[in-house]
Amino acid sequence: MTAHGTPRERPAAGAARAAVILAGVKTEDVKPEDADTVLFHTDGRTGVVTLNRPRALNALTHPMVIRIDETLAAWASDPAVQQVLIRGAGERGLCAGGDIRAIHDDAKAGNTASAGFWRDEYRLNARIARYPKPYVALMDGITMGGGVGVSAHGSVRVVTERSRVAMPETGIGFVPDVGGTYLLGRAPGHLGTHLALTGTAVGAADALLCGLADHFVPAERLPELAAALAGAPAHEVLPRYAGTPGPGELADRRGWIDRCYAADTVEEIVERLLGQGEPAAKEAAETILAKSPTALKVTLAALRRAAELGPLERVLAQEFRVSCNGLTAPDLVEGIRAQVVDKDRTPRWSPATLAEVTDADVERFFAPLGEDRELRLPPPDGLSRG
């Protein structure tokens, strides 16, 4: 809406089609409903982004990513927009991640559309992290994978009692991306390694503990919060709504988590977990052993390397390499097949055990893509200007 009107969602279909063409997506492949999958309006001083695929848990598609990035770029230089709010339609969650069925079909066919999607998605993640205005993310309900990417890099991250925040990629033969290895690598102690390998979803208290969120607001107060943001800056509004979440689980488990996940290899992590004599540690070991052995070893390596890379942009460039190289590995297609397509929940990983995954198998994921295929991101100062 305008600053004086009633909030109105605007698909902006023409701009979306133009952005899709620039991204290399064929115009004939753009469906009419793409215009409605993400909505934009201004409410007073706030630009509002609404992910609008509630039946698909607001999963991100390539056109959605392009339109969000294009709109954020425009709002960054618009003096009428003083802050941004992102939310999900429906009551189930902000965003469950990317459209992994599309990634499955692309990888199975040996195509490269997923690489194009990731390139634009990671650029969007970097823009959000360097956004020059307050970026308020309502991480209510399910916020996983790509949903973490469009929220947890923001400057004001709000969770509720319904929040379930996770990077569950190892369960589909993939590796945490969208800056997930950057975020988890900076969690206290080895909490991030625990979350990355197990794919565990955490609630509000644990998301705050791990640095994935900043504020807790009861879900029933989110409409009031959003309305208040129309007339005042986030830093003035939030103290009126923020509270203290119920107890989490990870703080009491820090002792064994830090001891076990400090190990150099996934095999040793599992061995330490099984030797703790703690039911929760044993459960974590069993959870890890059900994941893709290759994805587990690559994830651990990616986390450890991310800690040495510095800025988010360098970590995203590493994640882009890992993701693109993973397209040709068998576990990604198999994991999505088992969990999402056939839903038999019995993936046949290749290799099938941790012991069979060699150092060379892991290094292949970090191999250069070639000068013309690498992810090139502007330096942080360039991104901060939108």
In this predicted structure, what is the pLDDT of residue 7? Answer: 35
| Encoded amino acid at 228, one letter | A
pTM of the model: 0.89
Instruction: For 282, list phi and psi in degrees, rounded to 5.
Output: -60, -40
Which structure tokens are listed for 3? 């600053």
pLDDT at residue 347 above 60?
yes
> In 3D, which of 143, 154, 210, 126 has the Cα closest to residue 384?
126
Please give the helix or strand (H or E) that residue 199 lies within, else none. Answer: none
Tally of CB atoms within 10 A around 286: 13
* Mean per-residue pLDDT over the chain, rounded: 90
**Among the options 34, 70, 177, 331, which is catalytic?**
177
Whether 98 is catalytic is yes
- Rounded to whole angstroms, the Cα distance separating 178 from 190 reads 20
Q: Would you call 97 a catalytic residue per the annotation?
A: no
Q: How confident is the model at residue 381 (pLDDT cuts 50, 70, 90)?
A: low
Q: What are phi and psi of 2, to 5 degrees?
A: -85, 175
Report the candidate in 333, 286, 344, 322 with the shortest Cα–Cα distance to residue 172: 333
Give the model's pLDDT for residue 34: 63
Residue type, 295: A
One-character DSSP codes across 291-307: S-HHHHHHHHHHHHHHH
Question: Are the beta carbons of 131 and 386 closer than 8 angstroms?
Answer: yes
The predicted-structure confidence for 30-64, as pLDDT tens digits, reads as follows 355 566 999 999 999 999 999 999 999 999 999 99
Instruction: Return d(Cα 94, Cα 312) in angstroms, integer.
Output: 23
* Beta-bridge mates of residue 95: 143
* Residue 23 pLDDT greater than 50, yes or no: no
Question: How many CB atoms within 10 Å of residue 384?
Answer: 14
Of the residues 106, 121, 140, 169, only one is catalytic, namely: 169
Q: Rounded to an integer, what is the distance from CA 139 to the centroid of its chain?
A: 11
pLDDT of residue 6: 33
Mean pLDDT of 297-320: 97
Q: How confident is the model at residue 371 (pLDDT cuts 50, 70, 90)?
A: confident
Tens digit of each residue's pLDDT (9 = 90 or more) over 65-117: 999 999 999 999 999 999 999 999 999 999 999 988 989 998 888 888 999 99
Of 128, 93, 138, nearest to 228 by C-alpha is 138
Residue 344 among the catalytic residues: no
The pLDDT tens digits for 260-277 are 999 999 999 999 999 999
Residue 357 scores a pLDDT above 70: yes
pLDDT at 14 over 80: no
Q: What's the order of all strands across the beta sheet hosting 93-95?
A: 93-95, 142-144, 164-166
HEC-encoded secondary structure of 8-46: CCECCHHHHHHHHHHCCCCHHHCCHHHHHCEEEEEECCE
pLDDT, tens digit (0-9, with 9 covering 90-100), for 191-238 = 999 999 999 999 999 999 999 999 999 999 999 999 999 999 999 999
**Catalytic residue from among 88, 97, 98, 185:** 98
**47, 88, 146, 171: which one is catalytic?**
146
The model's confidence at residue 1, banded by pLDDT at 50, 70 and 90, is very low
What's the token pair of residue 51? Answer: 């992910």
Neighbour tally for 27: CB within 10 Å: 9
Quick one: average pLDDT of 342-362?
97
**pLDDT score at 35:** 67
Q: Is the per-residue pLDDT at 279 higher than 80? A: yes
User: Is 386 among the catalytic positions?
Assistant: no
Task: For residue range 331-341, list pLDDT tens digits in order.
Answer: 999 999 999 99
Model confidence band, residue 378 (pLDDT cutoffs 50, 70, 90): confident
